[in-house]
């Protein structure tokens, strides 16, 4: 996972001390995920469907196979959702988050495939202008700007 400073701040809870950021690991293995994602069950369903879709595109992807194996052995919820065989393409929607610093955020997102780099997808998040979410996102941006000079972000590529 790579992001601008605001993106790093938004997803700062995804960081694990011993490994790169990974949304699937965070969602199914970190107890903070159910507080962070206000619609956790919906997010979990979508995430598994996206992983299923990726597995269909490249069934020999070793990293994905290892991730699915890890999640299957450590999360009964993941195993159950994986067994449903749902597939979904992740391109637009609404994320409802509870950020530990600024509180609740409702953000519209849209994905864009980067044509020059096959498999690379960029997501853009926006808040409704003038909304509480926009105010909270502005506050988070301000916080991120003040902490950006203090250290490099721990978020890096997802395995």
Burial class (CB in 10 A: 0-12, 13-18, 19+), 78: buried
159 contacts 19 by C-beta, under 8 angstroms: yes
For the entire predicted model, the pTM comes to: 0.83
Alpha carbon of 14 to those of 96, 114, 127: distances in Å?
15, 24, 21
Alpha carbon of 72 to those of 69, 114, 156: distances in Å?
5, 31, 24
**Collapsing DSSP states into helix, strand and coil, what is residue 98?**
strand
Q: Which residue has the tokens 């009964």?
A: 76
pLDDT in tens, the chain (159 residues): 677 889 889 988 887 555 678 899 999 999 999 999 999 999 999 999 989 988 888 889 999 999 999 999 999 999 999 998 877 766 889 999 999 999 999 999 998 888 888 777 888 999 999 999 999 999 999 998 887 655 554 444 443
- Topology adopted by domain 5-148: Beta-Lactamase (3.30.450)
């Amino acid at each position: 996972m790579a992001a601008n400073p605001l993106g790093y701040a938004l997803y700062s809870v995804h960081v694990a001390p011993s490994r790169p950021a990974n949304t699937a690991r965070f969602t199914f293995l970190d107890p903070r995920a159910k507080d962070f994602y206000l619609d956790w069950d919906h997010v979990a369903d979508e995430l598994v469907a996206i992983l299923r879709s990726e597995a269909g595109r490249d069934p020999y992807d070793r990293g994905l196979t290892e991730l699915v194996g890890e999640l299957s052995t450590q999360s009964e919820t993941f195993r159950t959702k994986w067994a449903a065989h749902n597939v979904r393409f992740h391109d637009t929607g609404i994320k409802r988050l509870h950020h530990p610093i600024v509180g609740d955020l409702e953000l519209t997102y849209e994905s864009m495939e980067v044509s020059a780099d096959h498999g690379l997808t960029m997501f853009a998040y926006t808040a409704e202008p003038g909304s509480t979410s926009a105010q909270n996102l502005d506050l988070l941006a301000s916080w991120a700007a003040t902490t950006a000079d203090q250290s490099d972000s721990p978020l890096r590529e997802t395995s």
